[in-house]
Amino acid sequence: MNKFIKISFIIFYLLSIIVIYLSMVDKYDVIYEMDPMLPQGSLNNSSHNGKVFSGLLLFLIFIFQMVFFYIEKSRNWKWATGIMTALAFLVFFIM
């Protein structure tokens, strides 16, 4: 497979993992640390849009990794694809 395609798949994967992490982190953690009188989670809105967006992004990671797995001929890269996909699911479900 072309080296450019491999690098673009890996960059997309890494950026997606970062976006999943950032969309699921509580953005008000800094305020809770600054003012201990506020109870943890009191400023959080309950729309869960970050989780929906992260789920969609996880689905896109899964689709792109399956395409990469199908196209790639090297057994080592196929293993790497499987490990990367498992790590993406792990990050999503732990957050």
Range 20-28 average pLDDT: 79
Total domains in the chain come to 1
DSSP state, residue 27 = T
The vertex-84 CA angle with 82 and 88, nearest 5°, equals 115
Residue 81 and residue 33: Cα distance in Å, rounded? 39
Is the Cβ–Cβ distance between 17 and 86 less than 8 Å?
A: no
pLDDT tens for each residue of 37-89: 777 767 776 667 778 888 899 999 999 889 888 888 888 888 988 899 999 99
First to last CA, the chain: 33
Residue 62 and residue 27: Cα distance in Å, rounded? 26
Evaluate if residue 91 carries a pLDDT over 70: yes
Range of the domain at 71: 3-94
Model pTM score: 0.73
